[in-house]
Structure 1
């Protein structure tokens, strides 16, 4: 198939683009490189530098489907600069969906997020949990999910929104390298890498086994597998007859201390920690129920060991960057 991957020079987008190329698809990556990296685009993919808002000029009727990753994604920034998130995430997605209509493209996979749930009362979190985002980033993604649902109902679009939790690990030369890093595993790995002195434990008095927050971690390669299955689900006769929403996660929670222990085990370094106040809005436990993805997409994560996830991220940090 001929596919466009928006945001395909970013972390998750590049890994999915690589999987698509390996599966034999003709891939065009559209990315403005505001946060992505040109060298993260697979060699066999065509690269077009541009904004998702201008996708209509880069699409045509030869495309079979679009996988959409382009978005602003920093929670803290979304609070201080909400306009950027409404313009980029919602405005960009609206322009993209209109471009699909213009060119008669009726298959769509969207990179959504568990942030749409906010601080849910139920764990593991099912897809029918109330949408109650606690920041503009989550709210913008929830709005795009509603936008997609309306386009499916009105125009016959077949789409899958994949809501995932904490993505980590690496896939060969494709890995996580953000200018502003907010994710725990890469932050913790910065300590043995020599670019950070210690890891902050934001709250040690949560009602969890060791007092620190518990989160669901998913390997980025398992995530990519799910996107290819979601693409299959948008085919005629597939599971996505309209708008299908699926959570992605291991279904197993790991605490902040668990992550630090895994980093210590993988790297052989001490990895000091220091206690810090709780962050506003941090729920004690966020774990996904991925039953729907298993049942309707046939997806089952195979890289579920926390140490294996950390080891892949560590290899990328040590070896991947050395080769660039």
Structure 2
């Protein structure tokens, strides 16, 4: 990119950041931190492509002032983890809504593929789920307890085993993003096809509702968060494929950091899903209304935290915007 185009594209951000450092503009701490990261990335880019230019000198001076003002006097909050989950991460996750939508659409598409394949080929379910699982489930159906698989392990053992496995899958989905996002897409495809064939298997046996009201007690969060982990992998892939104004390495590192934050955000949800599968799903005798309530609350929690809350935070007026709006009204 030519230096003039680089300056035109980013000068408004630099000016806003410089005014904020001079206390001429009031902006939120989150925006200030985001602008600082952008300025340092732009400095790295300018150092590579325009090392002797005035642009590089200006950005170097601006970054030095920012470092002195922000980090030398910064006190780490005692509730750092709480702040991450309630403010920092949801605000940032709003930027990845396209990757989240893509992960959701891919998962939905291949779930339909798995369902159609199972309906078209009687051997498909066994090839996907394995003979051992299919035979065990058929035996459970004959014994009038089709969901007995969730009662075989002890509660705590199942809780720990499922939670650890789900976190492992999420990390794999994230790491596979280094293959330009294609590795993540492949993992999503595998899980989605398995889900589609799994649900069709119970539909074919006349047990679709029994499977839904049991499996989705924990599966609502489990499947949703696998899609969110896939979003993390796609963020990594985007960082490699579309570096924008950054160097490809800088963009890749940014993608890794952002993707890792997404994975970390899923841990409480995976723990919740593991708890539900270990301690709640096994109670297949529970009334339908209770199962529906648990599923509904789980879905609402996922939609709120990963869709509605990030949108709310990013569309809430900042102090500066509020003051401006007040001035216009008065």
Q: Mark yes or no: TM-score above 0.5.
A: no
More strand by share: 1
The TM-score with structure 2 as length reference comes to 0.27
Larger Rg: 2
The TM-score with structure 1 as length reference comes to 0.27
More relative contact order, 1 or 2 (CA 8 Å, 6+ apart): 2
More helix by share: 2
